[in-house]
């Protein structure tokens, strides 16, 4: 596609974020320019995520650059994108998903079940913490912040028995040898949008919308739309242990949902199927079912504990 000016691509500055942005630049049939933007989540790395801020912690500054016409496309990890997109912006494409699962990086244990009793496991995610403790209440779960390389370095320098990271990030960085095991989805339901990349643009930028839209992966887009509708109805973000995973099975969408307390002592896990052409309807329906079974109480309890609005 021939454009009068290069497409300005905005990205966080981590190694993984830049790799993702450069892969998008290579895929676009147009001239591009990469612009690095530091976000609040990148600046504050000495506190747990739930203490730093609300939804959009890693993308608000990038969205502001879009709104102010300083960039044309934002490349996000989909799991960082809040369920509501600001007015004037749109998710123009969802790229094909990599492995959606969480990965166990451990000294020796080949699974969560094989970790020693009372093992120390580190993660920066309340969703992972909740599901780890639901599986193994004896574990000592530590907080872990930083980009992928920083987390691996902290693990190597620590006495922790394991850490849990997204498999997709390790795969994109060529660090698959660090994965001791991928955690089955029935043990740990992933974050909404995990493994997928989102390309966000201005709603009225037709040239860029056309260029970016050609990269959309319809199957991933449907699955992620289903998960995001589920998240939006529950009004949860990274401060609440919520997980969802949708996939296409026999011409239908199957959605798994999880809501739990931080310590994993209260949890709901449900499954539903629906039509391929109505992903949001399925996400909303499963969220309503879980709210009917007490999800709202769990979310409210977590919000009070973590001092965020539910």
Active site amino acids: 80
Within 10 angstroms of residue 286's Cβ, the number of other Cβ atoms is 26
Q: Which residue from 33, 20, 3 is spatially nearest to 59, judged by alpha carbons?
A: 20
Overall size of the chain counted in residues: 310
Q: Write the CB contacts of 18 (distance below 8 Å, at least 6 apart in sequence).
A: 11, 12, 34, 36
Q: Which residue has the tokens 């989540």?
A: 41
Number of alpha carbons in the 13 Å side-chain half-sphere of residue 43: 10
Cα 216 from Cα 222, distance rounded (Å): 11
Cβ–Cβ under 8 Å, residues 289 and 272 = yes
Q: Which stretches of 158-278 are DSSP H helices?
A: 167-172, 206-213, 218-234
């Amino acid at each position: 596609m021939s454009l009068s000016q290069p497409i300005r691509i905005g990205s966080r500055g981590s190694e993984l974020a830049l790799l993702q942005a450069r892969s998008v630049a290579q895929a676009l049939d147009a001239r591009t320019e990469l612009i690095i933007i530091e976000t609040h989540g990148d600046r504050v790395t000495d506190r747990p995520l739930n203490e730093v801020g609300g939804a959009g912690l890693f993308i608000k500054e990038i969205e502001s650059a879009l709104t102010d016409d300083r960039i044309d496309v934002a490349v996000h990890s989909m799991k960082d994108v809040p369920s509501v997109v600001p007015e004037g912006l749109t998710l123009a494409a969802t790229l094909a998903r990599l492995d959606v699962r969480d990965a166990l990086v451990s000294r020796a244990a080949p699974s969560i079940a094989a970790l020693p009793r009372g093992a120390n496991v580190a993660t920066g995610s309340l969703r992972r913490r909740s599901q780890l403790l639901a599986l193994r209440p004896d574990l000592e779960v530590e907080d872990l912040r930083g980009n992928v390389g920083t987390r691996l370095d902290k693990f190597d320098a620590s006495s922790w028995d394991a850490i849990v990271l997204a498999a997709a990030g390790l795969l994109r960085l060529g660090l698959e040898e660090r994965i001791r095991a991928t955690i089955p989805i029935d043990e740990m339901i992933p974050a909404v949008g995990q493994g997928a990349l989102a390309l966000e643009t201005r709603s009225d930028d037709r040239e860029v919308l056309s260029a970016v839209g050609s990269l959309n992966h319809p199957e991933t887009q449907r699955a992620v739309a289903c998960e995001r509708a589920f998240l939006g109805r529950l009004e949860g973000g990274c401060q609440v242990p919520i997980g969802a995973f949708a996939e296409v099975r026999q011409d239908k969408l199957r959605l798994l949902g999880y809501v739990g307390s931080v310590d994993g002592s209260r949890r709901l896990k449900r499954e539903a199927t629906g039509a391929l052409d109505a992903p949001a309807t399925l996400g909303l329906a499963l969220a309503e079912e879980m709210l009917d079974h007490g999800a709202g109480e769990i979310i409210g309890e977590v919000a009070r504990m973590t001092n965020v609005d539910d």
